[in-house]
Amino acid sequence: MTKNGIRIIANVTRIALISAAAAMTLAGCLQTPEEKAAFKASQAAPTPVVMNATKGEAPTVSGLSHYKDGYPGFGAPLTAANVQMSDQEAGGLQSKLTALAAQRKAGTISEAEYQRRVAEFRKLAAEHGADTLSEIAN
Q: What is the pLDDT of residues 13-30, one digit of tens each?
A: 999 999 988 887 777 667
pLDDT of residue 90: 81
User: What is the tens place of the pLDDT at every residue in 22-64?
Assistant: 887 777 667 778 888 888 888 877 777 766 666 666 655 556 6
pLDDT of residue 101: 86
Q: Is 117 exposed, middle or buried (0-12, 13-18, 19+ CB in 10 A)?
A: middle
Cβ proximity of 82 and 129 under 8 Å: no
- Find the range with the poorest average confidence among 49-53, 78-82, 111-115: 78-82
Element (H, E) at 43: helix 33-43
pTM, whole model, 2 decimals?
Answer: 0.33
Listed as own residue / partner, the contacts of 42-46 with beta carbons closer than 8 Å and 24 or more positions apart are 46/76, 46/77, 46/78, 46/79
Report which DSSP code applies to 72. B
State how far the alpha carbon of 123 is from the alpha carbons of 88, 94, 114, 127, 135, in Å.
Answer: 22, 17, 14, 6, 18
Q: Which residues contact 82 (CB under 8 A, 6 or more apart)?
A: 132, 136
Q: Residue range 129-138: average pLDDT?
A: 73
